[in-house]
Amino acid sequence: MKPKLKHELRTPLNHILGYSEMLLEETRSAEIGPWHRGLERVHAIGQILQRGVDDLAPPPTAGPGAGRLPRTPPEWPGLVEEIRALAEQMAALAPPDLPDARADLARIRDAAENFARLIAAFTITATADLPPAAGHLEVETEEITGEADSAVGTGAPATEPGRLLVVDDDEGNRQMLERRLRRLGHDVLCAADGREALELLRRTPRDLVLLDIQMPVLDGEETLQILRADQELRRLPVIVLSASRDLSRVVRCIELGAEDYLPKPFNPVLLQARINACLGKKRLQDREAEHLRRIEELLHVILPKDVARELQATRKVQPRAVPEVAVLFTDLAGFTQWCAGRSAIEVHCELQGLVETFEEIALRHGLEKIKTIGDSFMAVAGLLAPLPNPADAAVACGLEMTRAAAAHGAGWRLRVGVHAGPVSAGIVGRQKYQYDVWGDTVNTAARMEQAATPGSVCVDASTWVRIAAHYAGESLGVVLLKGKGERQIYRIDRPRNVRAADPSATA
């Protein structure tokens, strides 16, 4: 494919217009004089050339004049020479407080010379009549119209600065955009091609990318494709800035996920507006993502993690019946009396410390906390994650809890009841809902806790059968339980592989 003549001409025009605009903005408050008049003349000529480039028509493909070089207005060489001469003359007028002024004027001069070389090599003036030539730059026929003429921007700082990445293979374009955007308050990084841009984005978070289309190594389209396929970067907004007016390329970039498009030379006011719009949209998306993250965290606090995942994936939780679950209840002996005369803060701190300790112990033994009711703690084993012996895990957890309670604060004596059997589970309620379990197994576990002596773990005969091979214990005889009738109760003393003389083995 032949290079695009208009694209090539717009690159030096972008430098002429952009650097003259920035120099005017930087000295806007100074007294009007030769400096301002010279810059305004450079900018005005740049606008004349820009309109001429936009109107540049290709020669006919058939009939008289077919294959000739494109024709340009006869005044162009004189206008370009005037820009070059003004840039050299004004270097002597550069204000001393503008350290970059001479460098900017040199860029304007170089851009004018580059523009002159292009029109001399690849176009003819309207009055010339030269033979056809081969290999000239192709003049684009598809144009994007309706853009406002370039105008000097206000230079007003952005209301909410963002972290921007400028990607352009032309060093002058990069420097010009970087300075303009920094002056608006943005944090700006630059990359010379798509590959460098992707490496930067994976190391340094950005809020917006300003991306050139035509670049070596990895062009704008290829960079967009990679961005949208990357799970971490796919939401990053991109504004395409290009001297190309090839509609098909711009459309492809939009289809690949670019947020917006601006042609070079760009209108700085329009550029600022579109950057602010993209950053505003990005901030809304970030806030939405943060809200979702907090909701997810809250779900994991009030619901078991597997249940929270099911709720997020399906927006509902199916009730389930599980044939073998161990339910654990605890109660602090004497807690109600201890609370009398103590402040709410003191009571809360003591209870908070105990509950946090119980949560850590339950997690180590594979139990899922269901809830606390006052000083009572309820957890289950084998409900969501299968365990070889849920009752074994619950009893081990209960024994460790009794030792931890005795070593905590006031030296608590903890009653623990464990019972194993079938349960049903699900989310109940609509306001402040929670995941809960119910059934006879839950009721019996609560009765075991009520029957336990302070500092012990108790089970009935059916659960004792499940754990007797691993734990030493003592029968407390037949006990009448409310709503359950007479049950034989066992107190669990210690694991069988722990000596009775070991003071840490019993509560």
- Measured between alpha carbons, how far is 19 from 14 in angstroms, rounded to an integer? 8
Which phi-psi region, left, alpha or beta, contains residue 334 (left: φ > 0; alpha: ψ -120 to 50)?
left
- Give CB contacts under 8 A, 24+ apart, made by 359-365: 361/397, 361/400, 361/401, 361/404, 362/328, 362/397, 364/397, 364/400, 365/393, 365/394, 365/396, 365/397, 365/400
Tens-level pLDDT at each residue, the chain (507 residues): 345 777 788 888 888 998 888 888 887 766 678 888 899 999 999 899 988 888 876 666 555 555 556 777 888 889 999 999 999 988 888 888 888 889 999 999 999 998 988 888 776 655 544 444 444 555 555 444 444 444 444 455 556 889 999 999 989 889 989 988 998 899 999 999 999 999 999 999 999 999 998 888 898 899 999 999 998 898 899 999 877 667 787 788 888 889 888 887 778 888 888 999 899 888 888 888 888 777 676 666 667 677 777 777 777 778 889 999 999 999 999 999 999 989 999 999 999 999 999 999 999 999 999 999 999 999 999 998 889 999 999 999 999 999 999 998 789 999 999 999 999 998 877 777 778 899 999 999 999 999 999 999 999 999 999 999 999 999 999 988 888 888 999 999 889 886 554 444 443
Q: Where in the chain is the domain with CATH 3.30.70.1230?
A: 317-495
Looking at residue 132, its pLDDT comes to 41
Helix or strand holding residue 400 (H, E): helix 390-407
Which residues does 50 contact at the CB level (< 8 Å), separation at least 6? 10, 13, 17, 149, 150, 265
What CATH number belongs to 317-495? Answer: 3.30.70.1230
Looking at residue 68, its pLDDT comes to 59
Q: Where in the chain is the domain with CATH 1.20.120?
A: 5-125
What are residue 416's DSSP bridge partners? 330, 457
Nearest CA among 130, 164, 138, 204 for reference residue 2: 138
Contact 368, 380 (CB under 8 A): yes
pTM of the model: 0.55
- Measured between alpha carbons, how far is 317 from 322 in angstroms, rounded to an integer? 15
Residue type, 243: A
- Say if domain 163-292 classifies as CATH 2.30.30.140: no
Looking at residue 99, its pLDDT comes to 83
Q: What number of other Cβ atoms are within 10 A of residue 356's Cβ?
A: 10
- Say if domain 5-125 classifies as CATH 1.10.10: no
